[in-house]
């Protein structure tokens, strides 16, 4: 099979995503007051409504509607004031009602969009597009809709191989999750590369986390994504037949699964074959996609308006109330960090995209000069991020106080300590939240940039090596390195190379 880059020279990939998010931050289910709790004792959070017992009547969860409207406003959607719930035929034991309550042609949120900044290596997957001066471009991605629906229960198959239903002796069902509110966002087929798909998913996750509607855990399945993909010859207008990759549960799987599927489709088409509209499953281990089922049509679902639920009328007051609750979104934060602290765009975006990191940066950067704020950003993005990743935590779990981080940034920006010493101080802050000023004093680090002391050392060294000084002044400039090395050695590697180098050169030049 050809590599993705080669395939994309001849073919254009067309991708649309369907992204589900469970509204995990809510306390109760979509149409009943059963609590939402991950990992509770099976079937302890159920009632006649979510078990679909005859005569039980659903009552919509107002907070869930508030959450989906928030999601719509944060993704530039128009909020539909009049919409309703439908029943979608669904016959499988994990949903005792035998239908799923969902939305019809009109969803709460319609016609939105997000802009993706595609930069650096990620931009390479678009050979067709003109890049800006930094080698990137902006992809404008339409959002068809975000609708409300409910999750099914969870089935466990026992006795068979790999927990599959095939060959299982018994199947158990846990209805705790049945009826959990889910929102599904559907994009227009506007994405053109696996990287754009990954960036869209990442950006949406950052937004949902910022507005606090879901924990967006890809591992626990509270955020999951189906990727639809087709190919057309470069320059062609008609879309090709698409396949759908189900339940991509990480950014990497989404990217790699789509990349594989694009290459597979290209091979089939180039050999004169045809693509069937089917649902496929990406196997990351084997690096291939396999057929799950051929596509059912909308008619198979027997959708009709739910007679138990009255049509919705959202008031302007309700919508504006939700708008007023919207926090600063990641893109706005990024732009503010650039304007207020002069951060490089990529750093500003990375910090703004992480709620905990942005909060810490905001507090610690207050009152810092731009150069100091840059040092602070580096500490957050390199050292503290590494700590968070290793410990499966966020920077909010650190004991490091913002004031201590700020004072370390100042020491680094002023060259009072070297970046190597900075690493030692960061480690001490992470371990014990030490006060950097005191720590630097105690460990004698300050002297290393005490220019008076360094000057003395240099003068002494020059007196001991008059021949080398003369040779330098005769043009053997490389000897600067000898003096540097001797001073660094005398200072046991603790000296600040930048400061020392300047003093050595100044003295040698006389």
- Residue ranges that bind ligand ADP, judged by CB under 6 A: 14-18, 186-189, 228-230, 239, 242, 295
Closest to ligand ADP by CB, 11 or 31? 11
Closest to ligand ADP by CB, 29 or 147? 147
Instruction: Tell me if 47 contacts Zn ion by CB under 5 A.
Output: yes
Cα distance between residue 465 and residue 487, in whole Å: 13
Instruction: Tell me if 30 contacts Zn ion by CB under 5 A.
Output: no
Which stretch in 39-47, 83-91, 156-164, 378-386 sits in contact with Zn ion by CB under 5 A?
39-47
Query: Which residue's CB comes closest to ligand ADP?
Result: 16
Which among Zn ion, ligand ADP, none contacts residue 176 (Cβ within 5 to 8 A by kind)?
none
Least separation in angstroms between CB 173 and ligand ADP: 27
Instruction: Say if residues 141 and 113 touch (Cβ distance below 8 Å).
Output: yes
Least separation in angstroms between CB 409 and ligand ADP: 44
Closest to ligand ADP by CB, 234 or 473? 234
Instruction: Tell me if 50 contacts Zn ion by CB under 5 A.
Output: yes
- What is the residue-wise DSSP string for 332-352? HHHHHHHHHH---HHHHHHHH
Q: Find all residues with CB under 8 Å of 504, minimum gap 6, and list them.
A: 458, 480, 483, 484, 487
Which among Zn ion, ligand ADP, none contacts residue 229 (Cβ within 5 to 8 A by kind)?
ligand ADP
Instruction: Tell me if 96 contacts Zn ion by CB under 5 A.
Output: no
Least separation in angstroms between CB 178 and Zn ion: 8
Q: Find all residues with CB under 8 Å of 334, minimum gap 6, and list them.
A: 345, 348, 349, 351, 352, 353
Least separation in angstroms between CB 349 and ligand ADP: 25
Least separation in angstroms between CB 100 and Zn ion: 15
Which among ligand ADP, Zn ion, none contacts residue 50 (Cβ within 5 to 8 A by kind)?
Zn ion
Closest to ligand ADP by CB, 207 or 457? 207
Which among ligand ADP, Zn ion, none contacts residue 16 (Cβ within 5 to 8 A by kind)?
ligand ADP
Least separation in angstroms between CB 345 and ligand ADP: 29
Least separation in angstroms between CB 298 and ligand ADP: 6
What does the block give as tokens for 134? 């930094």
Do the strands 223-233 and 312-313 form a parallel or antiparallel pair, or are they unpaired?
unpaired
Given candidates 32, 201, 266, 373, which one binds Zn ion under the rule CB under 5 A?
Answer: 32
Cβ count near 385 (within 10 Å): 17
Closest to ligand ADP by CB, 92 or 239? 239
Least separation in angstroms between CB 46 and Zn ion: 5
Which among ligand ADP, Zn ion, none contacts residue 380 (Cβ within 5 to 8 A by kind)?
none
Nearest to 154 by CA among 300, 41, 285, 32: 41
Least separation in angstroms between CB 243 and ligand ADP: 9
Sign of CA dihedral 467, 469, 473, 479: positive
User: Distance between alpha carbon 368 and the CA centroid of its chain, in Å?
Assistant: 28
Three-class DSSP labels, 425-481: HHHHHHHHCCCHHHHHHHCCCHHHHCHHHHHHHHHHHHHHCHHHHHHHHCCCHHHHH
Least separation in angstroms between CB 184 and Zn ion: 21
User: Distance between alpha carbon 130 and the CA centroid of its chain, in Å?
Assistant: 26
Closest to ligand ADP by CB, 42 or 189? 189
Which among Zn ion, ligand ADP, none contacts residue 471 (Cβ within 5 to 8 A by kind)?
none
Which stretch in 33-41, 153-161, 319-327, 403-411 sits in contact with Zn ion by CB under 5 A?
33-41
Q: Find all residues with CB under 8 Å of 78, minimum gap 6, and list them.
A: 72, 109, 110, 111, 112
Nearest to 40 by CA among 148, 153, 159: 153
Instruction: Say if residues 483 and 501 touch (Cβ distance below 8 Å).
Output: no
Do the strands 109-118 and 99-103 form a parallel or antiparallel pair, or are they unpaired?
unpaired
Cα angle 88, 90, 94; round to 5: 130
Which stretch in 4-12, 30-38, 206-214, 432-440 sits in contact with Zn ion by CB under 5 A?
30-38
End-to-end CA distance of the chain: 66
Number of residues interacting with Zn ion: please give it, by CB under 5 A. Answer: 5
> Using only C-alpha atoms, what is the Rg of the chain?
30
Which among ligand ADP, Zn ion, none contacts residue 34 (Cβ within 5 to 8 A by kind)?
Zn ion
Binding site for Zn ion (CB under 5 A): 32, 34, 47, 49-50
């Amino acid at each position: 099979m050809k590599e993705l880059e080669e395939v994309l020279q001849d073919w254009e990939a067309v991708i649309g995503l369907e992204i589900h998010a469970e509204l995990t931050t809510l306390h109760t289910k979509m149409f009943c007051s059963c609590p939402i709790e991950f990992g509770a004792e099976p079937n302890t959070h159920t009632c006649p409504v979510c078990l679909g017992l005859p005569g039980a009547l659903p009552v919509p969860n107002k907070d869930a509607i508030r959450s989906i409207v928030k999601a719509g406003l944060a993704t530039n959607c128009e909020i539909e004031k009049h919409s309703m719930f439908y029943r979608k035929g669904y016959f499988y034991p994990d949903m005792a009602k035998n239908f799923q309550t969902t939305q019809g042609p009109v969803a709460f949120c319609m016609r939105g969009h997000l802009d993706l900044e595609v930069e650096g290596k990620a931009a390479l997957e678009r050979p067709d597009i003109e890049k800006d001066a930094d080698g990137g471009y902006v992809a404008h991605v339409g959002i068809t809709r975000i609708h409300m629906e409910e999750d099914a229960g969870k089935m466990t198959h026992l006795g068979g191989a790999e927990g599959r239903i095939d060959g299982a002796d018994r199947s158990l069902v846990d209805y705790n999750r049945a009826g959990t509110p889910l929102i599904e966002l559907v994009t227009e087929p506007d994405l053109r590369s696996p990287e754009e798909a990954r960036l869209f998913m990442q950006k949406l996750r950052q937004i949902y986390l910022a507005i606090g509607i879901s924990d967006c855990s890809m591992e626990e399945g509270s955020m999951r994504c189906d990727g639809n993909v087709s190919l057309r010859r470069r320059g062609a207008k008609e879309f090709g037949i698409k396949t759908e990759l189900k339940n991509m549960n990480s950014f990497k799987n989404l990217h790699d699964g789509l990349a594989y599927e694009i290459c597979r489709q290209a091979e089939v088409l180039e050999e004169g074959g045809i693509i069937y509209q089917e649902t496929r499953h990406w196997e990351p281990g084997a690096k291939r996609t396999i057929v799950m089922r051929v596509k059912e049509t909308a008619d198979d679902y027997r959708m009709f308006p739910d007679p138990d639920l009255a049509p919705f009328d959202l008031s302007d007051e309700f919508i504006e109330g939700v708008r007023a609750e919207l926090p600063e979104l990641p893109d706005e934060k990024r732009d503010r960090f650039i304007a207020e602290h002069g951060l490089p765009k990529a750093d500003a975006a990375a910090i703004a995209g992480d709620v905990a990191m942005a909060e810490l940066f905001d507090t610690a950067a207050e009152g810092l000069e731009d150069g100091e704020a840059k040092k602070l950003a580096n500490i957050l993005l390199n050292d503290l991020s590494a700590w968070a990743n290793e410990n499966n935590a966020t920077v909010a779990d650190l004991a490091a106080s913002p004031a201590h981080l700020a004072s370390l940034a100042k020491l680094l920006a002023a060259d009072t300590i070297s970046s190597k010493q900075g690493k030692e101080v960061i480690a001490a802050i992470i371990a014990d939240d030490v006060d950097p000023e005191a720590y630097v004093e105690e460990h004698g680090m300050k002297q290393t940039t005490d220019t008076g002391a360094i000057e003395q050392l240099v003068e002494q060294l020059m007196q001991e090596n008059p021949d080398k000084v003369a040779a330098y002044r005769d043009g053997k400039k490389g000897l600067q390195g000898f003096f540097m090395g001797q001073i660094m050695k005398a200072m046991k590697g603790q000296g600040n190379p930048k400061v020392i180098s300047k003093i050595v050169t100044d003295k040698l030049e006389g």
